[in-house]
Every structure is written in structure tokens, then in C-alpha cells.
Amino acid sequence: MRSIWGPVTEIQDLGVVAEQCPYCERVMPCLLRSVYRGSYIFFIKTAVPTEERSRLCTACLQALPCEHWRYAAVVPIRKAKVLPIEDLLSRTNPGLAERLQLREQIRALGGDAAFGLAYEQVERLRPGALRSSFLKQLLGWNGLAVEQRTLLGQLIGSHARACQFACQIAPAFPGQTGCWRAALAAFAVWSAFLWVPAVHSWLWGSITLVAGLVAAALTRQLLLTRNVCQWTRKVLIPEAQEANVSLACLLAVVEDVPGSRLGMMEDLWPIRNELEAIRRVLSAEGRL
């Protein structure tokens, strides 16, 4: 029996696209979903629900966060059931279709398929020093021994998977929470202006105001760091292990996000901003 208050989850199926699943590594129809989470009391919603967007692989039934706008189109579920995967791929994900076609052309022309795959994976990385370094190493591909080519391909593939994984988990990263506690800390300091007669002056009033703001900022940062540490232990480590993603590669990808105003526009910026706290937890857990 449903209680009279508590959390509520609503799932809306939006349609089907073709995507290469990072878990089963097959190009399969994937179901796009919008998941709304909120709360209710007496069957009435008490707050605006938060929206999470995901895709569900129809082969391995693994769900991953995703950005729906990246797809060229979305095919209705009924129509997708009778549509060949090739047609679904060309309609919904032409970028992936072009990459797969390039790989086949390299193989058909007798080229090095490993090089084509490595180059394709480098193209998935975001612009930065890491991507430039891999491109430079690929320029000397012909001069590498077979073992060196294999190791380079594996290294590039690990970083490409880590980059995709980082983008998928970024929406679930802890945000700036604890506002009311930070405000409480500030008000506790500011109350000195009311209860301590010695600070009833412009000088001490200004000092009290600044001290309250500093207390609020420190409280908010401490709460954020605590949440980040919990998220690293309970979310990042188990999900990275399940997705077979190297945590060292993940840190390298996030660290490559520029620390400039341009970098702050990246969806990975909140993770990069708390990278030291994440690294400390991973080191303490023996994951690095």
C-alpha cells in the first residue's frame, strides 16, 4: 500500500536510438528515457521534480545517463521494432555510422585496423593536452613495434572510455548543497552585532559581516567536500568498476579540463574543481 508521503519516480519513454553500448560494446537499439524524481504528500507533489535523462541498452539492459540532444532524431518505439539496425543507426546517430564506416573502409583497403580504431577513439576525447599528446604519438605509428602499437591502442581506448564515463556520471556529481547550514553559520556570527555592545560600530560591524560570510563559505565547502567523499566511495568506485573504467585514466581525463573560464563551462568542471578530494579518497581506498 502506498504511504501518504514520500518520494515519487516517474519514467517517460521518449523513443529509440542506435548507440554503441560501453558495457556490451555492441551497436544496439537504446531506449531514451526521462526520469522525474520528486516527493508527494497526500498524493500531491510538494516540489518541482528533478529530471534525469538516460538511455537503456536493449541487449544488456544497462542504463546510462546521456544528453538526448546529441542524437539527430528519435524513432518511436513501435516503428523502431520493425526497423533494421542499419536504418535506425543512419537516422538517429549518423556520427557513429560514419565512424563505423571509416573503420570498415580502413579494413577493406588493407590498412591497419588498429590504427583506425585508435584514431577514432582519440577523436572522442575533448580538446586538450591529453588529446594532443595521443595524436602526436599516432603520427609515429609506423615506427612502433607491434607490442608498442598494442599498448598505445589500449592506453588510448582506456582514456576514451574514461572520458565517456566521466561525462555520463557528471550530472550525478554533488552540487552546492547545505545552503541553509551555511546561512545558519553566517547568522550565528552576525548575531554578535546584536548581542555584544562592543561591536556596535561601523568598523566592528564590517568585520562581523565579513566574518559571517567567511564562516558561511567555509561551512559550505566543508559540507561539499564531505558529500564528494561519500559520492566517490558509494558511486564513483562501484560504477567505474562495473563499467571496467580505469580510475587513473578518469583522473587524467578530468585533470585535462582547462582551469580557465572556458573550462568552467565544461560539464566536467565541478568534478575537476574537487579533484584533490576525490584523489585523496581513492588513495585511501587503495584504488590508485
Residue 205 predicted with pLDDT over 60: no
Question: CA-CA-CA-CA torsion for 187, 189, 195, 200, nearest 10 degrees?
Answer: -110
- Of 4 and 160, more confident: 160
pLDDT digits (tens, 9 = 90+) for 238-278: 988 888 899 999 999 999 887 654 444 467 888 888 888 89
Mean pLDDT of the 217-221 span: 62
Q: What is the pLDDT of residues 148-199, one digit of tens each?
A: 999 999 999 999 999 988 888 888 888 655 454 545 544 554 455 555 555 4
Over 50: is that where the pLDDT of 66 sits?
yes
Residues 141-147, mean pLDDT to the nearest whole number = 87
**pTM for the full predicted model:** 0.58
pLDDT of residue 10: 75
Grid cell 554503441 — which residue?
Answer: 20
- The average confidence (pLDDT) of the chain is 77
| Across 20-43, average pLDDT | 78
Does residue 125 have a pLDDT over 80?
A: yes
Average pLDDT over residues 106-116: 70
Please give the pLDDT value at position 188.
53
Closest among 236, 67, 244, 63 to 166, alpha carbons compared: 236
Can you state the angle between helices 247-255 and 146-169, rounded to 10 degrees?
70
